[in-house]
Structure 1
Amino acid sequence: MSLRIEVLSGLGEKAPAAILIEAEGKRLLLDAGGALHPGQSTAWTEGLDVDAVLISHDHVDHIGGVAALPAELPLYCTTPVAAALPIGRDWRPLPERGECRIAGVPVTTGQAGHSLGGVWLHLGIAGGVFYSGDACLESLLLPFDEPPPARVALLDASYGVYDTPQAQCRETIACQLCKPRVLPVPASGRALEMALWLDALAPRLGVTWDLDHACREGLETLLSLPATLRREGLDANIRGLVDASRPVSPKLWLVADRDDDPDDWPAHRLLHTGYLTPRRQRQRAAGEVDWLRWNVHLRLSHLRVLVRQLGARQAIPLFTTQVSEVSELLMMPSGLALATEESDVAG
């Protein structure tokens, strides 16, 4: 069977996600990413001709380009992700964990461990095509479901060859929380897990903390979903956190990222834990803000685990400038490669 994969955006850089899969006479678009910062190209939307769009999760670099697509184009996403679509945009349900057919193509979804309602996608064509979207195997709150075998793996390699365990990241960040801090985070992503972590950590550190309405609302939404979409044994902790009275002037703030600047928080210092836009990179270089990573993507060891689990013969690292380095480290004696006779990959 002929399979063609075209990475319209997201190959060789941290850029909007847009991957075109063509097989069995059908053309499916995996994700419809928007710009992560002003000036970043979203030219991938021009002249697009596909049968359907599948959205993995609601972060801007995966969903932000939807507004540029034809309104009549069938779009599939999970119910939590649909809340981030442009107002009035029609959509069709994608299971949070299960099977369906889209444009005649068998599609399996599973939890990706990255965000509220976020899923990986598996297409039952050409021996299996797996797309991780953004994914993480280390979340203490959001599960990652083991996917079915796939010959081709399109993998979130945002961290390149980085391989520091999450437990070490948490310890490093904890050491920086004894002075006034603001942590801007995606409300449907790491905010959920960091809130539970801070709730347990703050009493031990002897500091007060609070979370804004958007982060609190994300936790409420998580509780409204089936219990199988979160790790077991945490519901009472989440409910207690949401219902608890909060301090008037907390030392620590966990807030939904709204492109915060140091001037917005004169009594606190910003501590970023994820992707830095060029402007924030300049702020960090000037000593105006701090940055420490909290893992929400696949690190190198987990990329290798996933490739083995899938039995993949072809791996395509996405969203990283370290394509060649990651590819070399993913090579396996069984013949993993960046190209095979069965598929044509373009970027």
Structure 2
Amino acid sequence: MTWANNLDVDAVLISHDHIDHIGGVAELAEDVPLYCTPLVAKALPPNRAWHPLPERGSLAVEGIIVTTGQAGHSLGGVWLHLAVGGGIFYSGDACFESRLFPFDTPPPARIALLDASYGSYDQPQAYCVQAISERLDQPLAFPVPETGRALEMALWLAEEADRRQLTLAIDPVIRDNLAALLALPATLRRPVLDHSIRLLLARQNACPPTLQLMCDRNDTPAQWPNHHLLHTGYLTPDRRAQLAAGEISWQRWNVHLRASHLVALADQLGVTQVVPLFTRFSDNELNAWQGLLGDRLCTAQRFSTHSRLVTFPV
């Protein structure tokens, strides 16, 4: 038995291609309609049928108007707004702070399911970048998701390498994704960066490099004997053990909504209920969210609308 057995859904809308959001597609029945943007579709299982979502726009899905916009998190990623029961907004993974990916203002909604991956954490991106910059005095390797922070970190590392006269190598897959971003309409990326992207794409990889940005392939310290691994996102249990043993380092690079941004988005939407997603509620975290969201905080898993029952995992 899997989570997809006897699943009674009309369609599946996919926000972006990171494995924790798209990995379960292989378990879905072939007759379940999938909707995603063309860039996200590249990560689907081979020959899996899909329907296109616009990177920014609206369409009807099973009689419901679905509006999408840029979520500020990854290549091809979108937020989703369903015109049901006063509006339901789903952020997927989202961020206000990306230097590459814009975040589009969504329509008003009554219910918002928002990316709360960071809990009540609220450190600005500038702090994170400064903390990483202070570690660039040693050979470092950065394993990163290939369609997410990899792209903006590539630009930043190129700037830092030039400023400090360090050598740099960037994974070819990351380069390909930067080229794919450059090929999109200019409004789907932050302005004034096209020249920097072109310069990076023309840049030759150093061999050997002082700084190495590569797609995360479950890299271990033993695979990088000449570099120290610095992780910037989620750590698996094995990597948490490596961090505790001093074998790797970690410093967050913000790619999710931090607490004040989640509250600002809820205010902007005008919601009456907010479901914080992708987080565990310890007593301290629950108290923090109650303080931030007040009566709008909701941890229920089911919402009844005027037209149908809508079920969401928390």
Q: Same fold (TM over 0.5)?
A: yes
Q: Please report the RMSD computed on the Cα atoms of aligned residues, expressed in angstroms.
A: 1.7
Q: Which residue of 1 aligns with 2:71?
A: 112
Within a 5 Å distance, the mapping from 1:40-55 to structure 2 comes to 43-55=2-14
Q: Distance in 1 between matches of 2:18 and 2:160?
A: 27
Q: Distance in 1 between matches of 2:303 and 2:163?
A: 57
SS in 1 for 2:3: helix
Match of 1:151 in 2: 110
1:346 deviates by 7.0
Shift of 1:43: 4.1
Shift of 1:61: 0.4
1:67 equivalent to 2:26? Answer yes
In structure 1, the gaps of 5 or more residues are 1-41
**Matching residue's letter, 1:327:** W
Partner AA of 2:97 in structure 1: E
List gaps (5 residues or longer) in structure 2. none
CA distance in 2, matches of 1:138, 1:325: 26
Q: Aligned pair count?
A: 304
What is the alpha-carbon distance in structure 2 between the residues aligned to residue 111 and residue 126 of structure 1? 23
- Residue from 305, 314, 317 that aligns with 2:264: 305
Shift of 1:207: 1.4
TM-score w.r.t. length of structure 2:
0.93
**Corresponding position of 1:172:** 131
Offset from partner CA, 1:303-327 (integer Å, 9 cap, x none) = 0100000001000011111362453
Equivalence for 2:83? 124
Secondary structure in 2 aligned to 1:210? strand
Inter-partner Cα distance in structure 2 for 1:276 and 1:52: 32
TM-score (norm: length of structure 1): 0.84
The answer to whether the 8 Å contact 2:169/2:211 transfers is: yes
> Are residues 1:268 and 2:227 paired?
yes
1:127 CA drift (Å): 0.5
- Work out whether residues 97 and 109 of structure 1, in 8 Å CA contact, stay in contact via their aligned partners in 2: yes
Alignment check: 8 A CA contact 1:272 1:290 kept: yes
Contact 2:120 2:289 in 1 (8 A): no
- Specify the alignment match of 2:296 in structure 1: 336
How far is 1:331 from its partner? 2.1
For 1:57, give the aligned amino acid.
H
Aligned partner of 2:41 in structure 1 is: 82
8 Å contact kept, 1:330–1:336: no
Kept in 2: contact 1:316–1:327 (CA 8 A): no
Q: Structure 1 residue 341: deviation in Å? A: 8.7
1:178/1:207 contact within 8 Å kept: no
Paired position in structure 2 for 1:23: none
Q: Which residue does the alignment assign to 2:216?
A: 257
Tell me the distance in 1 between the aligned counterparts of 2:230 and 2:287. Answer: 29
Letter in 2 for 1:289: I
**How far does the alpha carbon of each residue in 1:132-175 deviate from its partner, in whole angstroms, 9 at most, with x for none?**
00000000110000101100010110000000000110000000
Any idea what the Cα deviations from partners look like across 1:267-307, whole Å, max 9, x if unmatched? 00100000001111111111111110000000001001000
Q: Superposition pairs for residues 1-347 of structure 1, below 5 Å?
A: 43-322=2-281, 324-332=286-294, 335-338=295-298
**CA distance in 2 between partners of 1:331 and 1:265 (Å):** 44
Q: C-alpha distance in 2, partners of 1:106/1:292?
A: 40
Distance 1:123 1:270 in 2: 41
